Chains A and B, each alone.
Chain A
């Protein structure tokens, strides 16, 4: 019986249990529903919960645990010499046995007889059914595989039986407990509360998962490359001369990537902050409601456009435009038509990322500026200050902490942005200060190291997790500090 079928049957039992519980509750009220503590539906749900939840829990547990039991039993059935060959070989053999086992299921009785008696080759028989084998296989594999299959089947049957018995037993137990004063609703609601709590703990689990998974992979990376060479290395060159072959020190240097990340984010902020801030000020303080009603949603469209589209925009429009423009400028000044801005450059990536960030800066600052109390504004205007003086001398200083928080949130987005830099910043990891040259970022390297064929144990791929946790730490600090400031600010004026 397949797992989904068992689950379906359990659900059907649960449905039946629901109706049974309802009927029993109605019957026990003797036609006068008001004597029941809870509505009949709650009694039904109570019984259904008893039918489904324990059974589902056992099912899940069985599915998790039984493979270990079966595997260890099969491992013990392997011949002595195979078991003594050491971990990796045994695992390999075990894998082959599994392969054979899945193949044996496809054979009919006659072919199976031929294979077990040794009269036909295991490899050919399985190949005919579309199960490839690395080598000819050995005789003990067939017995082990058969053992595996029988145990697997037995485990399945036992699981089906146990789960169904638990489902029915749960339903019967619950139905028998139902009577008029039974507080079914309270019990059901307690289960619901548990489910709600479980759902909200997923947020915590996600964070734990992020930190735990990246940390464990990063630690594996730091076993082959020392943390100091990673964090303070100035050369990023993971591809040539694999780690462990000598002279690998400094190959996984984080600094050039970090420099590129921060440089590009800086250029982006340099563009986005003035534009976004002035747009926010204008919309909050000057714009008529009609203008605001049009301009604000239009600017926010920029925030809704996927970053891959910005990347494409940088790749086919902004990059070539800057390159050709620089060639023309150079030609006009020196007569030598050579471009001094590369198509993929810090400037290209920063500019396009800046465009993407404009709506973040403007809508966050807009919210904060409008939160500044009316009285401050009125006081300043009443003393004869012009609007711009009020903004510069009163509103902005009052809103400054909030705006700083908003800018930090924006900066964290700039640091973690991926698709724009993948397409527009280039892949050359170097430390330099010319914004017209290509530089690369942490996110670009994470993508580069993890796309394509992976071998999961090499430092070349594991370094991505070390980069990831660095990125996570940077953005986490920025975010928490920014959220703290924004919250503090909001409390101040509430």
Chain B
């Protein structure tokens, strides 16, 4: 005690200029450096977030526009149905020579010599091969159109579309370019005459898989994802809520409960691809369910989402104060009535928030779906969850593997759509929490 007082006194008595250097400057510099590391780390994270989003948006925003060539198509009876058999045999209209109609219209619009085969070929290459089905559908839907001339907006071929959006490097030698000078010249004429224009790309949202970028869309994949989300919601929410109620409110504290607990925490961290293997082996090989079906995908994603929902629900149930339970029990409610009439309704915002976050996670999941055969070239909308279908992230994966420039654009566009869905879901979860969360 006396030592201490004497040392304090000696410090006070020491003159100011003789103050011992205890490295305070150095320590403060270390402090500043340490703080700077923290700021740098956060900035690195935010930088990559920004670069990632910027990449997707800058590559993808053009996907929402598509070049169309509007041509006056003459639905000539001589080409579509030269022998006038359509009344007797409507199938004739399905197999008519529709590309010829496009060719004739192009030849007229561009004033090409119809006998110059090479030139005509270059011209018809500018229009997507999907024009054939487009015209066919028009004629089949309305046979009265035969014999008349109508303006039809045909999709431009993918490379022409890219060139029109300025994505093709025109300094490259013509031979190495996907679009030749002749076509560029025609594009200019068509644009000046107003025949070629960029319009909103509705096809991106309605079409299915296609090997032609201009005719490929995410409509079919989005429907498949929708089915799966529906199945996940219908199965995972009730099962998850029931399981958490049991574990949180009824389960006796014993080995089995402990095991279930460890199990659920562990299942939440199992790699998603393992769930794909489970689905392949149990649902498809053992139970004989169809491959590529949204049903199987939904079941696999349900199993994957369950732990998330259970963990969130248990936290929400735990947050309801015991006074609510005591009050209900005191008034004569049974334990089951207490939980279902009072505790669960109060925990519902938390449960729904967890469910939405689980669903958002499931919506973006790709790996398990690859294993159960959802990497399929699906052109038609699946009528039921049993039909072959694909999912939004799987469609993105398949497009990401395509080489063409127009597919990169579409992949980014599809990613933007997926991210918008996810942002909406997560915002919904946050709003739900803000709106209904009660602090006890």
Contact = CB atoms under 8 A, between A and B. Distances in A.
Interface stretch (B160-168, B212-220, B279-287): B279-287
Contacts of A358: 44-45, 48
Given A213-B286, A214-B277, A483 B251 contact: no
B246 A309 contact: no
Interface residues of chain A: helix, strand, loop or mixed (majority): helix
Given A416-B273, A475-B271, A483 B265 contact: yes
Interface stretch (B8-16, B29-37, B187-195, B196-204): B29-37
A200 B245 CA distance: 9
A154 interface: no
Contact of A196 (B30, B250, B266, B307): B250
A409 B265 CA distance: 11
A203 B306 contact: yes
B267 A207 contact: yes
Given A278-B37, A316-B408, A483-B265, A308 B364 contact: yes
B110 interface: no
Interface string B17-43: 000000000011011011101111110
Contacts of A306: 363-366, 393, 418, 422
Nearest to A465: B277
Contacts of B52: 302, 305, 309-310, 313, 355
Interface string B329-373: 000001110000000000000000000000011011111001101
B418 A213 contact: no
A418 B367 contact: yes
Interface in A303-333: 304-313, 315-317
Contact of B41 (A214, A279, A310, A464): A279
Contact of A203 (B260, B397, B408, B418): B260
A277 B38 CA distance: 8
A447 B277 contact: no
A82 B367 CA distance: 45
B278 A209 contact: yes
A202 B415 CA distance: 33
A200 B336 contact: no
Contacts of A389: 27, 30-31
B303 interface: yes
B111 interface: no
B42 A283 contact: yes
Contacts of B35: 282, 286, 387-388
A471 B243 contact: no
Interface in A373-432: 386-389, 391-392, 409, 412-413, 415-419, 422-423
B27 A311 contact: no
A419 B366 contact: yes
Interface in A277-295: 277-279, 281-283, 286, 295
Given A202-B239, A204-B260, A209-B278, A286 B38 contact: yes
Contact of B242 (A200, A282, A283, A447): A200
B243 A196 contact: yes
Contacts of B37: 278, 282
A198 to B, nearest CB: 8
Interface string A180-213: 0000011001001101111111111011011001
A386 to B, nearest CB: 5
Contact of A480 (B262, B306, B307, B364): B262
Contact of A213 (B46, B277, B370): B277
B101 interface: no
A149 interface: no
Contacts of B277: 210, 213-214, 446, 450, 464-465, 468
Nearest to A478: B269
A305 B55 CA distance: 14
Contacts of A415: 271
A189 B336 contact: yes
Contacts of B46: 295, 298-299
A311 B274 contact: no
Nearest to A449: B371
A393 B365 CA distance: 41
A146 interface: no
Given A203-B307, A213-B282, A309 B56 contact: yes
Nearest to B395: A308
A307 B278 contact: no
A199 B242 contact: yes
B396 interface: yes
B263 interface: yes
Nearest to A468: B277
B338 to A, nearest CB: 11
B292 to A, nearest CB: 11
Chain A CB within 10 A, most for which of B48, B242, B264: B48
B31 A301 contact: no
B285 A480 contact: no
Interface footprint category on A: 35 or more
Contacts of A316: 55, 59, 400, 408
Chain B CB within 10 A, most for which of A198, A282, A302, A309: A309
A412 B267 CA distance: 12
A412 B396 CA distance: 26
A286 B251 CA distance: 42
A214 B281 contact: yes
A306 to B, nearest CB: 3
A302 B45 contact: yes
B144 interface: no
Nearest to A295: B42
A219 interface: no
Contacts of A200: 242-244, 246-247, 251, 260
Interface in A234-285: 274-279, 281-283
Chain B CB within 10 A, most for which of A209, A362, A389, A419: A419
A204 B426 CA distance: 29
Chain A CB within 10 A, most for which of B259, B274, B408, B418: B274
Given A193-B250, A200-B247, A275 B267 contact: no
Contacts of B42: 278-279, 282-283, 295, 299
Given A282-B39, A309-B56, A409 B269 contact: yes
A480 B418 CA distance: 33
A150 to B, nearest CB: 24
Contacts of A464: 277
Nearest to B365: A306
12 contacts: A193-B336, A204-B263, A210-B274, A213-B281, A275-B41, A278-B37, A282-B35, A355-B48, A362-B45, A412-B271, A416-B274, A450-B277
Interface of B: 27-28, 30-31, 33-35, 37-42, 44-46, 48-49, 51-52, 55-56, 59, 238-240, 242-247, 250-251, 259-260, 262-267, 269-278, 280-282, 285-286, 303, 306-307, 310, 334-336, 360-361, 363-367, 370-371, 373, 375, 393, 396-397, 400, 408, 411-412, 415, 418-419, 422, 426
Lowest 4 CB-CB distances: which A-B pairs, in order? A416-B271, A282-B38, A306-B364, A199-B242
Given A274-B41, A389-B31, A447-B371, 6 more contacts: A193-B250, A281-B38, A309-B418, A316-B408, A386-B28, A451-B370
